[in-house]
Amino acid sequence: MRVLIQLRPSPDIVAAVAAPDLTATTADVTGELPGVALDHDYTPVPLPRARPAVPGGDPLSLNQPLDFSMAPEEASVLVRGEISDDDRAARMALLPGRGGSVVGVYADPVIETSLTCGGTPPVGTWRDVERLLAVPRLTAEGYDGTGVALAICDTGINAAHVTRQMGRSFTIDADRSWSPSGVSDTPGRYRVDHGSMCAFDALIAAPKASFIDIPVLLSRRQGDTVMDGLLSDAIAAFSHLRTVLDAQPAASRALVVSNSWGSFSPLWDMAPGQPGNYSDNPAHPFNIIVGSLERAGADILFAAGNCGVECKDRRCAFPARPIVGANSHPQVLSIGGVDTKGLRVGYSSQGPGRLTDRKPDICSYTHFAGSKAFGPGTPDSGTSAACPVAAGLVAAVRTRWPASAISPAQLRTLLYRTATDRSTVGFDYDYGYGVADPPALLSALERHADATAKV
C-alpha cells in the first residue's frame, strides 16, 4: 500500500524542509525506515500544525476557527513510500514508534479526473454560460480577473488549443507554475486533455487572470514501483501554492485554486476510523494543508464528483456519501453541476459530505459545448467543468475584492446567500445552496462596499 509518513524530526531539519532556498532530502528527514520503500524522488513537504484558535477547542475538528503554525518546533514533514501488503498491519503498528520521529502514517490514494457518463449531447454552449454568468456586466464593472492568480490543478494546460477555441489569448504564469517530480513539460504546453478543458471553462468569467499550471495528475510511475498520481503530489502542489500566496502583497492577496479531481474508491484508502484514513479524517495531512492554504487567503474549489445516483461514474465505489476527503472540506467550495437550463445533471454527486455534512455547497454550469478538448461535439462535462466555471467567477470577484477585503469564508457565505435556490427552500443535498448567481452576488458586494464605507 502506498502511504504518506508524517515525521517530526529536529527543528533544524524542519526548517531546512520549509525554507525555499534550502534543500532537504527524504534521507535527511527519515534515515532508514525498515519495511518501507521510500520514494527518494519525492521532495519532503512541510506540514503546518493545526490547533484551535480559542482555548478549549476540539483539536481534531475543522468546524471551528483554526491557527496554523509553521514554526520548526511545531511543524512536521511528510515523505511518501510503499509498504508491502503482506505485512502491512505489523509495519503500520511499528512505524509510529520508530526513532520517536514518526507521528503518523496515512493513505496516499490515487486521484483521478472526474468524467461524466457518455452519450449525452451538449446542452447549450459556452456562450450560454457566458450569458448566464453575466460576463458582460462583470467586465463592465471591472471584474475580469486582472491581478488574480488562478491555479488549475489537473493534467496541464495546452494554451495554444485553449486560445484557438476561445478566440483570444490569455496568460500562463510559468514562473509560479509547478509540476510533480518527473513531469518536465513546459507550463502551458501539455497535451490537450482534461486540464485544457478546465482552463477554458475558468476563462469564461476571468479572461484576464494569470493561470498557474499545476499538472498534479500527470505524475508517472517511478522505476519498477507503482508510485504514480497520488495525493502526495497534491500536498506538494498545495505547499508550493502557499509560497505563491505568501509572496503576494498582503493587501492585494488573490489566489483561486480549482481542483476537478477526487478519490473514487474506499479500496484506495485505509478504512474509516483508522488514524491514517483520508476520506473521513480531517486530520489527514492533505486536509490539514487545504485548511492552512485557505486560512492564508486562498479560495479553494473542488468538484463535488460524478457519483450522482441517477448516472454515476462506473468507478464510484463508495456505497453512500461519495463526496469524500477534501472535496467535502469545510473550508472549500464543493461544486455540483447543472446544465444551461439550470437543472442538476444526473451524475453530480449528492451530499451529505464525509468531512462536512452540508455538501455540495453550490452548483455551476456544465455539460456545454466549449473547449473541444475531447473532440468536436463532445461537451465540457462533469463537475469537472462546473468547478472551473465557478473558479472563474470567484477569480473575477477577486479582481476588486482581495482576501484582505473579503476573506475566503466571507466570500463563500456571500455565494451561499445569493445562490438561486433550485429545490427545497434553503440548503439541500442535490443543489447545495443553489446555483451561483453573479448579478445577485454583485449586488451583495455593492451593499457590502456601502456598509464598509459608512464604518
What pLDDT does residue 117 have?
Answer: 58
Q: What are the grid coordinates assigned to 431, written together?
A: 443543489
Whether 351 and 360 have beta carbons less than 8 Å apart is answered as yes
Provide the residue ranges of all domains of the chain, joining segments of one domain with +. 2-107, 126-453
What pLDDT does residue 225 have?
Answer: 39
Give the C-alpha separation, 255 to 311, whole Å.
33
Q: What are the grid coordinates assigned to 190, written together?
A: 501539455
Give the C-alpha separation, 110 to 320, whole Å.
20
How many angstroms separate the first and last alpha carbons of the chain? Answer: 56
List residues with catalytic annotation.
154, 194, 384
Q: What are the grid coordinates assigned to 423, written together?
A: 429545490
Whether 230 and 111 have beta carbons less than 8 Å apart is answered as yes
What pLDDT does residue 83 have?
Answer: 87
What pLDDT does residue 281 have?
Answer: 94
Name the residue among 139, 132, 258, 159 with its Cα closest to residue 202.
258
How many C-beta atoms surround the C-beta of residue 108 within 10 A?
32
Q: Look up the CATH architecture of domain 126-453.
A: 3-Layer(aba) Sandwich (3.40)
Whether 114 and 175 have beta carbons less than 8 Å apart is answered as no
Q: What are the grid coordinates assigned to 442, written together?
A: 454583485
Can you state the angle between helices 194-203 and 159-166, rounded to 10 degrees? 40
What pLDDT does residue 266 have?
Answer: 86
* Strand pairing report for 112-113 and 149-153: unpaired
Give the C-alpha separation, 137 to 197, whole Å.
24
Bond before 330 cis per omega within 30 degrees: no
Q: What angle do CA 317, 424, 120 make, to 5 degrees?
A: 50
Torsional class of 372: left (φ above 0), alpha (ψ -120 to 50), beta (otherwise):
left
Residues with Cβ within 8 Å of 266's Cβ and at least 6 positions away in sequence, in order, are 272, 279, 317, 318
Name the residue among 13, 15, 20 with its Cα closest to residue 70.
15
Whether 11 and 103 have beta carbons less than 8 Å apart is answered as no
pTM: 0.89
Phi, psi of 363 (to 5 degrees): -115, 155
Per-residue pLDDT of the chain (455 residues; tens, 9 = 90+): 889 999 999 999 999 998 877 678 888 888 778 888 888 888 899 999 988 888 888 876 777 788 999 999 999 999 999 888 777 777 777 777 665 688 889 989 888 766 555 568 899 999 999 999 999 999 999 999 999 999 999 999 999 999 999 999 999 999 999 999 888 789 999 999 999 999 999 999 999 999 999 999 987 655 443 445 578 999 999 999 999 999 999 999 999 999 999 988 888 888 888 889 999 999 999 999 999 999 999 999 999 999 998 888 888 888 899 999 999 999 999 999 999 999 999 999 999 999 999 999 999 999 999 999 999 999 999 999 999 999 999 999 999 999 999 999 999 999 999 999 987 778 999 999 999 999 999 999 999 888 877 76
Give the C-alpha separation, 368 to 189, whole Å.
24
Give the C-alpha separation, 284 to 300, whole Å.
17
Q: What are the grid coordinates assigned to 367, written together?
A: 455539460
Bond before 352 cis per omega within 30 degrees: yes
What pLDDT does residue 54 have?
Answer: 85
